Amino acid sequence: MDFKYMRNAYYYETDRMDIVHHSNYVRWLEEARVEMMDKMGFPFAKLESLGVLVPVLSVQTEYFYPVRFGDKFEVTSRLTDFNGCKFSLEYEVSNITQDKLSLKAKTSHCFTNTQLRPVRLKKICPELYELYLKYM
């Protein structure tokens, strides 16, 4: 299932070339992940209140077309891999204003306790485990 996250690019996100700096796309992926959790019915804050953290293991990006200040963009995210401890997401960032694909990306993550030791989601948070299975 695809999850959508949309907003406009802010001025502070741009660089001297008047385009959004490449590092901000990674921030947008995180915003989309947080929004995805909300839409799944299990907000990030709830997970963290249980002592579960979700560190990033890797980020892969491929840039196609720039987003500029004021452009509306949409991040589409989808869960592509989940084994109970690790998961991966794929993303597409589309420049809605210009009707162009701006970025394709993939991130991988794991679930840990507050000491950053891996945990099995099925054991520590079965409700979210079942949601991840449902959206795979």
34-70: per-residue pLDDT in tens?
999 999 999 999 999 999 999 999 999 999 999 999 9
Q: Residue 84's pLDDT is what?
A: 96
The residues assigned a catalytic role are: 15
Instruction: Scan for tokens 């099925």, then name that residue.
Output: 122
- Quote the domain boundaries for residue 52: 2-135
Domain count of the fold of the chain: 1
- Give the dihedral sign, CA 116/62/95/77: negative
pLDDT over 70 for what percent of the chain?
100
Q: What is the CATH number of the domain that holds 38?
A: 3.10.129.10
Q: Cβ neighbours of residue 114 under 8 Å, at least 6 residues apart?
A: 51, 53
Cβ pair 20, 93 in contact under 8 A: no
